[in-house]
Structure 1
Amino acid sequence: MLPIATPLAYGYQFYAFPLAILEGREEARDWVLSNYIQTAFDLAPDSPVPFCFYVDDFTRSPWLETQTLTRQFCRSRGDRIDDLVRDAIRDGWYVYLTVNERHIPDRLAYVNEIDYPHDLLVYGFDDDDDTFAILGYDQDQMFRPTTSPQESFRTAFEAMGEGDFYDTGIILYRFDDTGRYELDPVFVADAIEEYLVGTNTSQRYQASQAALDRDWGMQGYSALVGHLKRYADGAEPFNILNVQVLWEHKRLMVARAERCGELGAAVSEIVPELRRIERRAWTLRTMMLATSSGDLEGFRRDAVPLLEEIAAAEPEVLTTLVAALRDLAREPVS
């Protein structure tokens, strides 16, 4: 069994899985808190990921070794996925891949007996019990560890069909003990300012990928307000992920400010304000989950003003945090 932790952010599994590997290691903390600052809202209709953190490559970290294989490559070699996974885990590699969750116990698709290609992380195996230890969203949509019979896992991997499907490929992660990273208060301050002013951060990586057309950082609040209003009007389906990411962003900002305080930044008055914003975001998430009772009118009456309160409160406290970080960077080294 390889170690995993419950990460501070887990709304989308493509970033939850590397964070689950990293956040159990204290030495990786500064890297995590130096990232996951910028957000991007995709206004394109039917976007698979409308609102999310922006990181140029979610698989990359100085604390991770990464290898990427394709399903076709493994098939051409005749590799059985269960053999490959066991060999990888023995060598310290976590395995991230897509399977048909119809065949994975404790998954919603398994309960409903429907085909559903979805990603998961394998972090251990027990040949005595003939099981794999996996991480992901269970049948109750809770992000947690479960197990799968190895034969069922193999069936799930092979039952994807030949057509187009969402596929992560097969990504292998291994914690790199030789990694090095220290939190730079100036870098973090710059990143927070980009969030505040709505800088298109993706333009920095145009040498390797096209810039993205998004509403960046604080600009995304108007799109979030519109999303909540349309949901309350019955014009959009229930989707907890937008407010989940919003809450995760505030949760990480609290942890980030606390870490900067440990490094000497004057954040004693800032952290409580950030915690109040995080609690509002948590309340908004809880309110949306409660709409399963059908009270959309009450949700619109209460939720939209709450989101607007969050948007109004954030600039002042983050601007103060930026100033504290720049003051910390200017302090002489003793």
Structure 2
Amino acid sequence: MNAVQLPVLNPPLKGFLRWAYTLSITSVHGETIPWYYSNFIQLSCTKKFLEDGSQYYIDFFRGKPNELNFNNPFLLTCSINYTIMNHLVLDEWPKFFANQIRSGYYCVVFLDESKLSTAACYQKEPFPHHLFLYGFDWDESFFHASMFDHTGVYRNLQIPFQEFQDAVRSMRDLLDENLTADHHTYLYKYEMHSPYPFDKKATIDQLRDYLNEETHLNRINYNFDDEEVFGLKVYDYLQMYFDAVKNKDSRLGVRNDMRHLHVLWEHKRVMSERIEYLVGEGIIPYDEELVEGCKNITTRARKLRDQYIRHEIREDQTMFEQLKLRFEQFQTEEPALLRRLITLLEG
């Protein structure tokens, strides 16, 4: 087989590639839908971004390690690093990954994305990053890949073998010079899990954690008390972040304003879609207040993100008043809706 493409779907979450890459694999398979809606409920964010100058993050939380690292029940995962791969001469890298794809493995390769002409960082500063490969054409010498392109849009595209090798070579150099850490390359094969019905208990537990601003996921291995906040508490830190942006606070590290608002919208959208799924499957009865309330929050979150896009093009200081208003509204409105959902699930 000189050309292979493994099946992928446009992923439902794109705020962070750890979700986009793995969900583009599992979303192909209808049997994973109950698992999907039993998850992606909790939010977390970084806490000390002004104290230590680190980058602020807000993201879905499913426990640690992160999703690339053996955290998806439907994916058989292999992890390799550059030390293991050093025996391969550079010209052998395309063949190695083509063979993995031929064997049914999706490949998430850690490399220097600044060497890829499709990337926004092309020919700029080095950008160590993971690239998702799901196919290849050996005769035409390219991989089928998914990534955020130079316009910031997540899409499927083609990466020439030569650019791929250049990105690997640059990554090797960065590691040799101790300019970055090796975040590993991952190989994934989809394997049908034992039947995974919608998990009411796991869903209720996560909803309560969100409301109580805490997490019980995988605490046996990790202590979160001083690094992250959870659930409704993230709104306080979102507000703190955007106050720092408004005031041009010199303590603020790398900015990524749009991603934060995009993840917030994805969180509301998934909750609204989850409720539609639960009603459609007969797991809960239709409840107009719950359905319409969550749809309304989702719409306002999307508009907030879109308004901020316009603000970044043409600065409007009233945007920060709108952000504060929406964060306060969401933080006030969500508890009643989510408690209503818990009551319906408990039936």
What TM-score, normalized by structure 2, do the two folds share? 0.87
Contact preservation (8 Å) 1:229, 1:304: no
Matched, 1:189 2:220: no
SS at match of 1:205: coil
1:90-128 Cα distance to aligned partner (Å, 9 max, x none): 011111122112221211111x54322121111111112
Give a deviation string over 1:160-216, Cα, whole Å, max 9, x none: 1222425431101111134431112232112111111112334x432x344453211
Q: Where do residues 191-206 of structure 1 align in structure 2 (5 Å cutoff)?
A: 191-202=206-217, 204-206=218-220
Partner of 2:230: 216
Tell me what 2:141 maps to: 130
Letter in 1 for 2:285: A
Alignment partner, residue 332 of structure 1:
none
Contact 1:198 1:216 in 2 (8 A): yes
Task: Please identify, of 254-263 and 316-325, the stretch whose mean Cα deviation from structure 2 is larger.
Answer: 254-263
Of 2, 5, 15, 2:6 maps to 2
1:251 aligns with 2:263: no
- 1:55-74 matches, cutoff 5 A: 55-56=62-63, 57=65, 58-59=67-68, 60-74=71-85
Q: Distance in 2 between matches of 1:219 and 1:129?
A: 51
TM-score by length of 1: 0.91
Shift of 1:26: 1.0
Query: 1:78 deviation in Å?
Result: 4.8
Q: Is the aligned partner of 1:35 residue 2:39?
A: yes
State the distance in 2 between where 1:75 and 1:243 align: 40
Q: Which residue of 2 aligns with 1:241?
A: 259
Contact 1:62 / 1:179 at 8 angstroms: preserved in 2? no
Q: Which residue in the other structure is 1:156 paired with?
A: 167
User: Comparing 234-243 with 58-67, which one deviates more in the overlay?
Assistant: 234-243
In the alignment, structure 1 segments of 5+ residues that lack a partner are 328-334
The one of 308, 315, 339 equivalent to 1:295 is 315
Which runs of at least 4 in structure 1 moved beyond 4 Å after TM superposition? none
| AA matched with 1:227 | Y
Identify the residue that residue 229 of structure 1 maps to in structure 2: 243
Distance 1:127 1:212, change over 3 A: farther
Cα distance in 1 for partners of 2:214, 2:109 equals 33
Aligned length: 324
Once superposed, what is the RMSD of the aligned Cα atoms?
A: 1.9
Question: Of 11, 14, 30, which aligns to 1:26?
Answer: 30
Please say if residues 34 and 196 of structure 2, whose CA atoms lie closer than 8 Å, have aligned partners that are also in contact.
yes
What percent of counterpart residues are identical? 23
Counterpart of 1:55 in structure 2: which amino acid? R
Distance 1:76 1:256 in 2: 47
2:285 paired residue among 246, 253, 266: 266
Find the counterpart in structure 2 of residue 174 from structure 1: 189
1:12 Cα offset (Å): 1.0
The verdict on how the C-alpha distance between 1:212 and 1:74 changes in structure 2, with shifts beyond 3 A counting, is farther
Structure 2 residue runs of 5 or longer lacking an equivalent are none
**Partner SS for 1:52:** strand
Distance 2:308 2:190 in 1: 36
Residues 1:75 and 1:179: Cα distance change in structure 2 (over 3 Å): farther
Preserved contact between residue 5 and residue 23 of structure 1 (Cα < 8 Å):
yes
